[in-house]
Amino acid sequence: MDTGQPASSIAHLCGFLFVFDDLQQGIDIFDGKEVGNIYSRFGNPTVDSVASKIARLESIDLEQTATGLLTSSGMSAIALVAMGMLQPGDTLLTHPDLYGGTVALFRDVLQPLGIQLLTTDLRDDEGLVALLEARSDIRMIYCETPSNPLLRCIDLGKIAAFAKAFDCHTLVDNTFATPVLQRPLALGVDFVIHSTTKYLNGHGTGTGGVVVSLDMEAMQSRLLPKLRLLGGTASPWEAWLIHNGMKTLPLRMERHSQNAEIIANMLEKHPRVKSVHYPGLISHPDYELAQRQMQAAGGMLSFDLGGRDAAIRFVNALQLCTLTPTLGDVDTLVIHPATMSHRALAPEVRAALGISDGLVRLSVGIEDVADLLSDLVQALEVV
């Protein structure tokens, strides 16, 4: 269709390309003598404003405001920090209970680059300090809290302090909690990442990630150049969807947490459920830490139905809850970790972690909780 406008101005209207008035202006912008946009992989106003909105939320209670880099996915956010801050010969120390894709990223991408991997229980203070004392090659500690899928919590203030004492960086995946419920930077953590695909977008309409840090120097000189070269930048369209989703983030997180607590209590009393993992339950091993570290326990929980067949029958019987391998949406989503999010792990590794074949993970949505309870109860009848 001929709109009567030159192609360059139409591209400009779409918000992806930037048009220079003349060659001199282009040169000045490239040289940094004039402030301006060049090309969306290098930077884009919509992308930058959403990154800074998330960074401001993550540092809301601090004197210094954090900076953020929006990425094309949560995985690219994790890879960016690890590849930007670690070198061959360095060791990355992680907690065992992590999203399966992250474990595969470390094993299949970082390890072949010469970055060694080590796993330890980060809740064991003495063991962690002994390891940091013995291994000066440990340059970064990585964890999720609450973790995927067992919702274990890690004391961020403690690991950040231990890491600092040994001149080591910390990187925390705050996807499950969001900055509304937990702010790792305030506890001394160096880098925070999110899969914005999840709660920050909140509506299952896009894939994205973000890195946030108070370390301007590292963000500007180590991570941003790599992000541009690796091409992991977010698109302005995805950024706009995150921007829209974030308008309701505090309201959603409150409702997700309320609904999840009610459901966790129901499941804990149900005779067909072997165990429930939810940091808002008094029976959860990290209940006190979660109370201290989080504003509320969030919308994620998992529970064990005792075996693979029971899990399959339960998931297939659900009518309102949706079977889909993601989380953090307004709708209630269910997965079977052993065959979905954690399929990249060997069965014996899953078993050692406690990710049994009977485990079901629920991302509790913001629907009417009575509807959710009746769907879950009718599906449990089939188990």
Q: Which residues are catalytic?
A: 41, 99, 173, 198
Nearer to ligand PLP, 204 or 280 (CB): 204
- Give every CB contact of residue 182 below 8 A, 6+ residues apart in sequence: 145, 156, 174, 293, 294, 295
Fill in the per-residue mask, 21 to 60: x = in contact with ligand PLP (CB under 6 A), - = not in contact: ----------------------------------------
Q: What string marks each residue from 335 to 374 as x (binds ligand PLP by CB under 6 A) or -? A: ----------------------------------------
Is residue 173 within the footprint of ligand PLP (CB under 6 A)? yes
With binding defined as CB under 6 A, does residue 175 bind ligand PLP?
yes
Contact yes or no for 82/113 (Cβ under 8 A): no
> Does the protein bind ligand PLP through residue 74 (CB under 6 A)?
yes
Give Cα 93 distance to the centre of its chain: 18
Selected binder of ligand PLP within 54, 55, 69, 75 (CB under 6 A): 75
- Determine, following the binding rule CB under 6 A, whether residue 101 of this chain makes contact with ligand PLP: yes
Contact between 195 and ligand PLP per CB under 6 A: yes
Q: Is 197 in the site for ligand PLP (CB under 6 A)?
A: yes
Question: Is 235 a residue that touches ligand PLP (CB under 6 A)?
Answer: no
Nearest approach in angstroms of CB 336 to ligand PLP is 14
Q: Are 254 and 361 in contact (CB under 8 A)?
A: no
Is 40 or 197 the residue whose CB approaches ligand PLP more closely?
Answer: 197
The phi, psi pair for 362, rounded to 5°, reads: -120, 130
Question: CA-CA distance, 270 to 115, in Å (whole number)?
Answer: 45
Q: How big is the site for ligand PLP, counted in residues (CB under 6 A)?
A: 14
User: Contact, 203 vs 79, CB < 8 A?
Assistant: no
Residues contributing to the site for ligand PLP (CB under 6 A):
73-75, 99, 101-102, 144, 148, 173, 175, 195, 197, 207, 209
